[in-house]
A and B are shown apart, each in its own frame.
Chain A
Amino acid sequence: MPKDEKKPVSKLATQIAEYAEADGVVFPPLVLQALHEKLQNLRLEPPEVKRVVHDVAARFGRARVDPHESVGIIAAQSIGEPGTQMTLRTFHYAGVAEMNVTLGLPRLIELVDARRVPSTPMMTVYVERKHRTDRAAVEKIALQIEVSTIPDVAAIGTVVEDLKVVITPQLSLMHSRGVKRGDIERALQEGIDPRKFKVADGAGSGESRPFEIFLAEAPAPAPGKAKKEEPDEDMPFKRLLAASEAAKAIRIKGLTGIQRALIKKEKDEYVIYTEGSNLEDVLEIEGVDGDRTTTNSIFEIYKVFGIEAARAALIQETSRTLAEQGLTVDIRHLMLVADVMTNEGDIRAIGRHGISGKKTSVLARAAFEITAAHLLRAAITGEADELKGVAENIIVGQPITLGTGAVNLVYRPTVAPKTPPQAVEPPAPIEAADEDEPLVPEG
């Protein structure tokens, strides 16, 4: 709660901090905040507060992870196991019925694969505070985002006898898209190759006055290339078709890659959902709330906001994908996956091209995929396998270095008494030893 930080520290907060310190525990912010809230509602006396804080501290201490716990494997299992229960279909995203978004297992695979472009890129664009509740203003922004092409606002027809393409702006469509005739004109001028075609105004007047595209006068072809283009010259209607195709592809306004922008009311503000993603450009648009606007493309987030943001996005996307399927997976597992993927400063995929391919151990790599190549490569570079990981130790047949394999118990028997063992023996000293220590019993 950012607001709480600004407030003077309450008496209760100091009390909690004091008692926690006495117990030698540092609570993470989330716990502290929840505790504070709870106790504030209860209005307890200091001794009671102390009691509660003490109990919480004790429980907190007991809930910590043990050193040498193989958290990686647990995380992988916790994410992989429910995978069998997920759906394969894409379904629409909760809240926006009109949009299809990849969900379920395919989405999860796509996330851990660190694909550059998700199969259904999507943005959630929030609007700055002042326009948030104003539908018209939000619509205006949406129109700036959504790509409008000529077919979106005009009818394109071909008149073969006159060898021209006629583009007739449709007023209602133009209005709903917020496009003026001038916009179309500009787009046509920019988008049509003047060496090949000629744009002119058609008959009529006003906003709906059509445009006509003619074939340009046959440009004096370079002598050498003339022959190559000859078939084209013979079939002008083919070129006409090309002109109409070119016109269809022209973008009048909007951001590249965004096919659609929908406005949805969420609580008491209007939010824009887009099909297609272009975070970099959308942030440039005035009125867009850059703090909250987001995309489901991890790579775009990485490019625009950096690796920490990409990590957070990965966590959020994976956890949302799982939650949407009704599967509960602890967020710590997802964090670990995201951390492994982003740990080196860029996004690395889970798999042969990412983390598994970069492992230090030759044997571990060979056991995963592309076995022969790794072994051959190891020989020419004279690699040594230090046998520190899990897979390589299993391969050579010795205990792995995690969990109980990370520690050893050394038993140092006291020098045997000359008399036979007596009834009461002193307990043998037992100590945990470092794994490098020799395991030979002394004496």
Chain B
Amino acid sequence: MAQGLSKRIKSLQFAFLSPDEIRRMNAVKVITADTYDDDGYPIEMGLMDLHLGVIEPNLRCRTCGGRVNECPGHFGIIELAMPVIHVGYAKEIKRLLQLTCRACGRLLPDAPSGSRAEVALEGDDGPATPSPREGKEERSCPHCHEVQQRIVLDKPTTFRENGHKITPKEVRARLERIPDDDVRALGLNPKAGRPEWMVLTVLPVPPVQVRPSITLESGERSEDDLTHKLVDVLRINQRLRENRDMGAPQLVVEDLWELLQYHVTTYFDNQTSGIPPARHRSGRPLKTLAQRLKGKDGRFRSNLSGKRVNFSARTVISPDPMLSINEVGIPVEVGRALTVPLEVTPYNADVAKALVKRGPTPADQDGLYQCGVNYLIREDGQRIKVMDKNAEACAELVTPGCVVERQLINGDIVLFNRQPSLHRMSMMAHFVRILPHKTFRFNLCDCPPYNADFDGDEMNLHVLQSQEARAEAKVLMKVEEHILSPRYGGPIIGMLHDHITGMFLLTYQNPRFNRAEVTYMLSRINMPVPPPAGSDKDRGEFWLGKQLFSLLLPKELTIEYRANIWNKCTDAPLHCPHDAWVVVEKGELKAGAIDKKSVAYEKGALLDAIARNYGVGRARQFLDEASRLAIATIDLRGLSTGIDDEDVPRAARKEIDDVLTAARLKVNELVDQYRKGELEQMPGRSLEETLEVLVRRELGRARDDAGEIAGRQLGLENPAVILARSGARGSMLNLTQMAGAVGQQSVRGERLLRGYFNRTLPHFGRGDLGADARGFVSSSYKRGLAPTEYFFHSMGGREGLVDTAVRTSRSGYMQRRLINALEDLHVDEDRTVRNTAGTIIEYKYGEDGIDPTRSYGGLAVALDEIVTMALGRRLRPSSEDKPEGGAGTPPVTEEEMDLLAEAQLEEEGEEEEAEEVPSPEEGPGFEGE
């Protein structure tokens, strides 16, 4: 490995390959259309000539004498019997022919004069280069007075002048006549290539390495598409030459010439419009040069912009709450297969030797995994595979200067990634923990940035191979460095699901724990048991939930905010009976329940405050400890929910049914009014639309009322409600759909409409506009859906699935374009934003030069917090301080408010419904990706 010395390619020059140059670099003139003889030996002067390079072992290249991996390959040539147009340049040739004199080749007058165009050329291509005026009038050349003719391009490669074909030979002759100065004026660079080179007289034959033939199991040889195409070219070229030399009729020669043109054209691009693509015998179109480069699987996007790598692993993922968020659990098998290069120096030679001596599969020591060595790279670069048998011998070879490829050990840093990699948090650095079993494991808090779950997802892992890479990963890519998201300046890594429930159980209404329980919980985070909060006559000493939680907080932290369970109550923060105001003073939780608003990803105010004020390291510690404590709490207290959590008393059920019946009647009434024409039209809406709006409003209200009645029966002692209200999972809407009524189903934001002629299902009359006929589901999930309701529900569900499928591809392409457009931008040292060409895009990044990651939800500084800390006083948070996701213009009239609320509810409802339906991604039979 070269060290301290790095060369850079400074620039890449594009140009033409001139016919002379092509001839000069030729290793062999190919004339035979055959490839191998009967013995399977390459035919001389054939397409597989040994001068072109070797692809078989134990043969030597005739040009350079190299073996398979030594010879880079050499070009050959095909001398074309007659010149042929290069398809890619047909348009350009047409332009040149139109702009220059047919006789003397000089630039025609109505193009800009030479000098001016020359100046323009230096700037940019495009507008400055003259384009032919499609004038009809006859022009004559000012230099030789030749009258010009109209030239058209008959796609793809035939030129016609006043209807008469111009042969490629004639085209070439004309291009040859254009003087260099005029070429320059035409926007081309004569130094890069003369225009006549766009008409080919000689065709380079790429080395065999470019078009290797494969030997099938049957011993049959299968040639590359390019070779096939070259065979065609050669064959026709040969016939053309023979016919021409024999003086065959003009017509025959011309036909063959055109055929040669066709083969050369498809050799370059087999998707040229206007001609049928050349096909393989099986009917598959051949993949020729352009196809090799183009598109997603082309050379550029598939092999150059992204590459396959070594030192990587992939397996299924699973959760492990006992790992730190910075860690990843790795199966022993993976640890043994992946290696870290260890450079042997005089200082570590002994250690390295001992390592090599262990061989590739050392036995566990005290039940602990021991790393071995897979390869030893000697100073001369030779790679020796270390095996159990030769381990001792290899150890003797270890000297300073060698590299030992050591297996993974705990504490190594690796990159961990889940596709699709939509943002930089999709690939983060973790520290290795070698663990038994076969999955990659990590802390659940890391799920949101990777967008991972454990229903069969797989993830990739990469081992870094250089010191520089490891250093960068450690400083920039560690998971804790990504707790705060650059997208919105808040935490993207945080607690979820059971963590939140656990925290809530721990802190809500400050429950008491006895010594055994506290010891159990604190043992998870290795913390000594604090003095008890008090003591009670019957049960002895006790500790309080909030007290235990406070152990995790930094000592000076002071903050106050509303919890997720806050329900518009106006009690004083410290004395809120619902525990809905979180007050932390000097690192002590004085009031409030810890829920989603405190610690969850995207929301957690507490987490955010810790990360910004005490550093991401402290935030990591908090997350590690808090998530373990939460799990311990939930272990202790237990939480289970079943469908009987949504049981409602008979009286309430009756009430719900009444509400739904009333709504149905009201809808009928509305429909009647509409039929009689008594409905008052809303401004800007048709009568039908008015009816729809009113009906939907009525039904929406009914659903909400039903939910409200059901919700009244479900208090915070109900586990399902705990989940919903604390923000751990699900919403109250989900619960009311289970207990009350599911509500209106919709497709494209409207009540269900399509199906049969004028009705949704044959169960209803034609033109029935009532609630049931148009997709209102009045049953609850718990009670079960009627057959028609079930059908409607799946209609709504399908829309969600289709939506998701369409959306991913659309947003994927948008992101690709965004990345491509913005990838070159960076903040310069003068803090302006520039692209790599040096153009200033912004004078100051974001107008204030603030990094969104370090901002406070987008604000440059968290004023309240700073003032509080600076003065050591608690200040009431003003509600406008933290920017919330701003809605559009606030609604005004009551009517609008209703509509808006309804719209949002509906949207929400659908969103949730969509999730309920087992999507193919989540279904058991499918892979997680």
Instruction: Contacts A59-B866, A109-B810, A383-B14 given; indicate if A343 touches B822 (C-beta within 8 A).
Output: no
Say which one of A6-14, A60-68, A165-173 lies at the interface with B. A60-68
Report whether A264 and B892 are in contact in the complex, using a CB–CB cutoff of 8 Å. Answer: yes
Report whether B860 and A28 are in contact in the complex, using a CB–CB cutoff of 8 Å. Answer: yes
Interface residues in B849-875 by Cβ distance below 8 A to A read 849-852, 854-855, 857-864, 866-867, 869-871, 875
Interface residues in A379-425 by Cβ distance below 8 A to B read 379-392, 394-396, 398, 401-404, 406, 411
Report whether B682 and A76 are in contact in the complex, using a CB–CB cutoff of 8 Å. Answer: no
Interface centre among B89, B839, B870, B887 (most CB of A within 10 A): B870
- Of all chain B residues, the one with the shortest Cβ separation from A263 is B683
Instruction: Contacts A72-B824, A80-B819, A390-B824 given; indicate if A411 touches B12 (C-beta within 8 A).
Output: no
Q: Interface extent on B, as a size class?
A: 35 or more
Q: Of the candidates B89, B815, B829, which one forms a contact with A77 in the assembled complex, judged by CB atoms under 8 Å apart? A: B815
Q: Of the candidates B188, B189, B487, B811, which one forms a contact with A330 in the assembled complex, judged by CB atoms under 8 Å apart? A: B487
Shortest Cβ distance from residue B92 to the other chain A in the assembled complex, whole angstroms: 6
Bound Cα distance from A234 to B70, whole angstroms:
86
Report whether A439 and B892 are in contact in the complex, using a CB–CB cutoff of 8 Å. Answer: no
Chain A residue contacts of B811, Cβ below 8 A:
80, 83-84, 86, 105
Q: Does A17 contact B (CB under 8 A)?
A: no
Instruction: Contacts A28-B847, A63-B850, A330-B486 given; indicate if A38 touches B14 (C-beta within 8 A).
Output: no
Q: Does B817 contact A (CB under 8 A)?
A: yes
Q: Of the candidates B16, B814, B846, B890, which one forms a contact with A109 in the assembled complex, judged by CB atoms under 8 Å apart? A: B814
Shortest Cβ distance from residue B708 to the other chain A in the assembled complex, whole angstroms: 23
Say which one of B245-253, B299-307, B392-400, B661-669 lies at the interface with A. B299-307
Report whether A30 and B860 are in contact in the complex, using a CB–CB cutoff of 8 Å. Answer: yes
What's the tally of chain A residues with a CB closer than 8 Å to chain B? 128
Report whether A38 and B863 are in contact in the complex, using a CB–CB cutoff of 8 Å. Answer: yes
Report whether B849 and A381 are in contact in the complex, using a CB–CB cutoff of 8 Å. Answer: no
Shortest Cβ distance from residue B667 to the other chain A in the assembled complex, whole angstroms: 19
Shortest Cβ distance from residue B185 to the other chain A in the assembled complex, whole angstroms: 13
Q: Does B891 contact A (CB under 8 A)?
A: yes
Report whether B900 and A94 are in contact in the complex, using a CB–CB cutoff of 8 Å. Answer: yes
- Of all chain A residues, the one with the shortest Cβ separation from B749 is A89
Say which one of A50-58, A189-197, A210-218 lies at the interface with B. A50-58
Chain A residue contacts of B815, Cβ below 8 A:
76-77, 79-81, 83
Report whether A333 and B187 are in contact in the complex, using a CB–CB cutoff of 8 Å. Answer: no
Report whether A76 and B855 are in contact in the complex, using a CB–CB cutoff of 8 Å. Answer: no
Chain B residue contacts of A372, Cβ below 8 A:
88, 269, 290, 293-294
Report whether B192 and A387 are in contact in the complex, using a CB–CB cutoff of 8 Å. Answer: no
Report whether A326 and B885 are in contact in the complex, using a CB–CB cutoff of 8 Å. Answer: yes
Report whether B827 and A67 are in contact in the complex, using a CB–CB cutoff of 8 Å. Answer: yes
Bound Cα distance from A368 to B852, whole angstroms:
28
Report whether A55 and B870 are in contact in the complex, using a CB–CB cutoff of 8 Å. Answer: yes
Q: Does A70 contact B (CB under 8 A)?
A: yes
- Of all chain A residues, the one with the shortest Cβ separation from B188 is A380
Bound Cα distance from A39 to B866, whole angstroms:
12
Report whether A389 and B850 are in contact in the complex, using a CB–CB cutoff of 8 Å. Answer: no
- Of all chain B residues, the one with the shortest Cβ separation from A328 is B488
Interface residues in A185-222 by Cβ distance below 8 A to B read none
Bound Cα distance from A383 to B6, whole angstroms:
26
Q: Does A246 contact B (CB under 8 A)?
A: no
Say which one of A95-103, A156-164, A301-309 lies at the interface with B. A95-103
Say which one of A130-138, A236-244, A283-291, A347-355 lies at the interface with B. A347-355
Shortest Cβ distance from residue B187 to the other chain A in the assembled complex, whole angstroms: 7
Bound Cα distance from A98 to B682, whole angstroms:
9
Instruction: Contacts A367-B305, A389-B836 given; indicate if A382 touches B191 (C-beta within 8 A).
Output: yes
Shortest Cβ distance from residue A300 to the other chain B in the assembled complex, whole angstroms: 20
Instruction: Contacts A70-B826, A71-B826 given; indicate if A262 touches B818 (C-beta within 8 A).
Output: no
Bound Cα distance from A288 to B10, whole angstroms:
58
Bound Cα distance from A333 to B900, whole angstroms:
29
Q: Does B13 contact A (CB under 8 A)?
A: yes
Interface residues in A242-272 by Cβ distance below 8 A to B read 260, 262, 264-267
Report whether A380 and B870 are in contact in the complex, using a CB–CB cutoff of 8 Å. Answer: no
Bound Cα distance from A333 to B855, whole angstroms:
13
A-B contact pairs, 13 of them (CB 8 A): A31-B861, A67-B829, A73-B825, A78-B488, A80-B422, A81-B815, A87-B907, A94-B889, A97-B903, A324-B888, A340-B822, A380-B188, A383-B192
B-side residues, CB < 8 A to A, are 4-6, 8-16, 88-89, 92, 125, 187-189, 191-193, 195, 198, 269, 290, 293-295, 298, 300-301, 304-305, 422-424, 472, 476, 486-490, 682-685, 693, 748-749, 803, 806-808, 810-812, 814-815, 817-829, 831, 833, 835-837, 839, 841-842, 845-852, 854-855, 857-864, 866-867, 869-871, 875, 885-893, 896, 899-900, 903, 907
Known A324-B887, A350-B818, A389-B823; further 17 A-B contacts with Cβ < 8 A: A39-B867, A59-B862, A65-B850, A68-B829, A72-B823, A73-B819, A73-B823, A266-B889, A323-B888, A329-B487, A332-B852, A337-B818, A362-B12, A372-B88, A385-B11, A395-B305, A404-B472
Q: 10 smallest A-B Cβ distances: which pairs?
A: A382-B192, A80-B815, A72-B825, A332-B846, A83-B811, A382-B189, A72-B822, A94-B888, A330-B852, A378-B14
